[in-house]
Amino acid sequence: MGSWNRRRFLTAAAVAGAGGLALALRPSDRGANHARYYMRMSKALDEAGLARPTLVIDQRRLLANADVLHRRLRGRYHYRVVAKSLPSLPLVEAVMQRTNTLRLMVFHQPFLNLVAEELPRTVVLLGKPMPVAAAAAFYDLHVARDFDPGRQLQWLIDSGARLRQYRELAGQRQIPMRINLEIDVGLHRGGLRNVDELAEVLEVIEHDPLLTFAGFMGYEPHVVKIPGIIGGPPRAFERAQAVYWSFVNAAEKKLGRSVDNLTLNAAGSPTYQLYDGDEPANELSAGSALVKPTDFDLDTLADHQPAAFIATPVIKALDTTEVPGLEPLAGVMAWLNPNRRKAFFIYGGYWKAIPESPAGLSVNPIYGHSTNQEMLNGSASIDLAPDDWVFLRPTQSEHVFLQFGDIAVYDGTQITTHWPIFT
Residues between 217 and 246 with contacts to ligand PLP, criterion CB under 6 A: 219
Peptide bond into 358 cis (omega under 30): yes
- Distance between CA atoms of 389 and 65, rounded to whole angstroms? 25
Residues between 282 and 301 with contacts to ligand PLP, criterion CB under 6 A: 285-289
User: In the chain, what are the helix, strand and coil shares in percent, each to the nearest 5?
Assistant: 40, 20, 35
Helix (H) or strand (E) holding 215: strand 211-218
Residue 297 phi/psi, 5° resolution? -80, 75
Stretch that binds ligand PLP, among 193-201, 279-287, 343-351, 411-419 (CB under 6 A): 279-287
Nearer to ligand PLP, 306 or 358 (CB): 306
User: What SS3 class is residue 254?
Assistant: helix
Number of other CB atoms surrounding residue 160 within 10 Å: 14
109 touches ligand PLP (CB under 6 A): no
CB of 286 to ligand PLP, least distance (A): 4
C-alpha distances out from residue 85 to 9, 206, 292, 355, 402, Å: 63, 34, 10, 21, 11
User: What SS3 class is residue 28?
Assistant: coil
Describe the crossing of helices 160-173 and 132-141 by its angle, rounded to 10 degrees. 30
> 76-105 mask for ligand PLP (x: CB under 6 A)?
------x--x-------------------x
- Distance between CA atoms of 307 and 85, rounded to whole angstroms? 13
Nearer to ligand PLP, 60 or 222 (CB): 222
154 touches ligand PLP (CB under 6 A): no
CB of 222 to ligand PLP, least distance (A): 12
**How many residues of this chain bind ligand PLP (CB under 6 A)?**
12
Nearer to ligand PLP, 151 or 399 (CB): 399
- Distance between CA atoms of 318 and 287, rounded to whole angstroms? 39
Nearer to ligand PLP, 184 or 388 (CB): 184
269 touches ligand PLP (CB under 6 A): yes
Stretch that binds ligand PLP, among 9-17, 246-254, 281-289, 404-412 (CB under 6 A): 281-289
CB of 252 to ligand PLP, least distance (A): 23
- Distance between CA atoms of 68 and 283, rounded to whole angstroms? 16
Residue 165 phi/psi, 5° resolution? -60, -45
Q: Which residue is nearest to ligand PLP (CB)?
A: 268
Residues between 177 and 196 with contacts to ligand PLP, criterion CB under 6 A: none
Which chain residues interact with ligand PLP by CB under 6 A?
A: 82, 85, 105, 127, 219, 268-269, 285-289
